Amino acid sequence: MQLPDDSAGQRLDHVLTRLTDYSRGRIQQLLKNGSIQLNQHPAKASFRVRGGEMVYIPEIITETLNIQPEAIPLDILYEDETLLVVNKPAGMVVHPSCGHDSGTLVHALLHHCPSLPGINGVERPGIVHRLDKDSSGALVVAKTDAAHLGLSDLFARHDIQREYLAWCRGAPPWYHKRIETMIGRHPHHRQKMSVLPEQSTRGRLAITNAGREQVFNHGFSRMRLTLHTGRTHQIRVHLADAQLPILGDTVYARSFNPGQHLPVNLRTALHELARQALHAEVLGFIHPISGESIHCVAPLPCDVKNLDVALRAC
């Protein structure tokens, strides 16, 4: 491909995104790993185009998957020929990994749709984003390469409506708050994330809009969170840092033993909660292929629904 003269002065990644069917994120990934050649040399995303340069972009070849499909039922909120939105249950891992070589969402998706593209690595066909194992709720999956590229671009531009519900210990004195911090790996516990100082070079900007939806007796609350970025464990870290740890979170909240002062039905609901009380309720976006406005609402699973009923009753 020869770069046009009217691209002079523009960044290479911007130009290639405009001239190809790839998202900017995909172009930047290819540039980072040296796959794109500019005048027969590895190119950089920040290169300023002069016009007339020759660029080679390799065709992306999907690797053959070595995963056996499994007939696991899926709660499908929306589906067409290019993508689907599922209501992932708590306890299900999204993609295969060490210690999780069966029973994942990917295994179920491959049974439901055998032609899913192997994008983001061969173990993650069609996966555009993820939810933690012990979080439930709406998750979108691409069924075609074009849909994956389009959805990836929406996520890269933070042009996705993502609303979560969380049931927490404590109640904030505010109704709405924009939480904006740097989040990165915990300096001492590598399996955890943490809020880092603003000037830290090890973190990435994380933005969450938090709303106090309801305050219950005995020091509990239900929060509605809107994600503007998608950092690992973002909501859990932000709420814990705000002294609002999510009920059932064994990583970012101190252990909690419901006392005898709590009503029996609430103690029962808390004891039966075997995961963090975090649910991705709303997922909305503009369909990358049809242009249709998609708005999915994932019903509450029984464990957090029972918890919410018990909290409202006390």
CATH number at 5-56: 3.10.290.10
Whether residue 132 lies in the annotated active site: yes
pLDDT at 124: 63
In angstroms, the CA 53 to CA 75 distance is: 49
76-156, what's its fold? Pseudouridine synthase (3.30.2350)
CATH number at 162-313: 3.30.2350.10
The answer to whether 134 and 247 have CB atoms below 8 angstroms apart is no
Of the candidates 127, 116, 178, 177, the residue with the CA atom closest to the CA atom of residue 151 = 127
| pLDDT tens sequence across 207-224 | 999 999 999 999 999 999
Q: Which of 13, 132, 303, 308 is catalytic?
A: 132
Distances (CA, A) of 306 to 209, 238, 255, 277: 26, 25, 21, 11
pLDDT at 19: 79
The answer to whether 112 and 71 have CB atoms below 8 angstroms apart is no
Strand 136-142 and strand 278-286: the pairing is parallel
Show me where the domains of the chain are located.
5-56, 76-156, 162-313
Residue stretches of the chain with pLDDT short of 50 = 61-64, 120
In angstroms, the CA 150 to CA 291 distance is: 11
| pLDDT tens sequence across 43-90 | 888 899 998 888 887 655 444 457 889 999 999 999 999 999 999 999
Q: What is the largest CA-CA distance in the chain?
A: 76
Number of separate helices (H) and strands (E) present in the chain = 7, 13
CB within 8 Å of 175: residues ≥ 6 apart:
211, 212
Q: Which helix or strand (DSSP H or E) is residue 79 part of?
A: strand 76-79
The answer to whether 288 and 150 have CB atoms below 8 angstroms apart is yes
pLDDT at 118: 58
In angstroms, the CA 280 to CA 261 distance is: 31
* Equal fold, 76-156 vs 162-313: yes
- Residue 184: DSSP 8-state: E
pTM of this structure: 0.78
- Give the count of alpha carbons within 13 A of 138, CB side only: 23
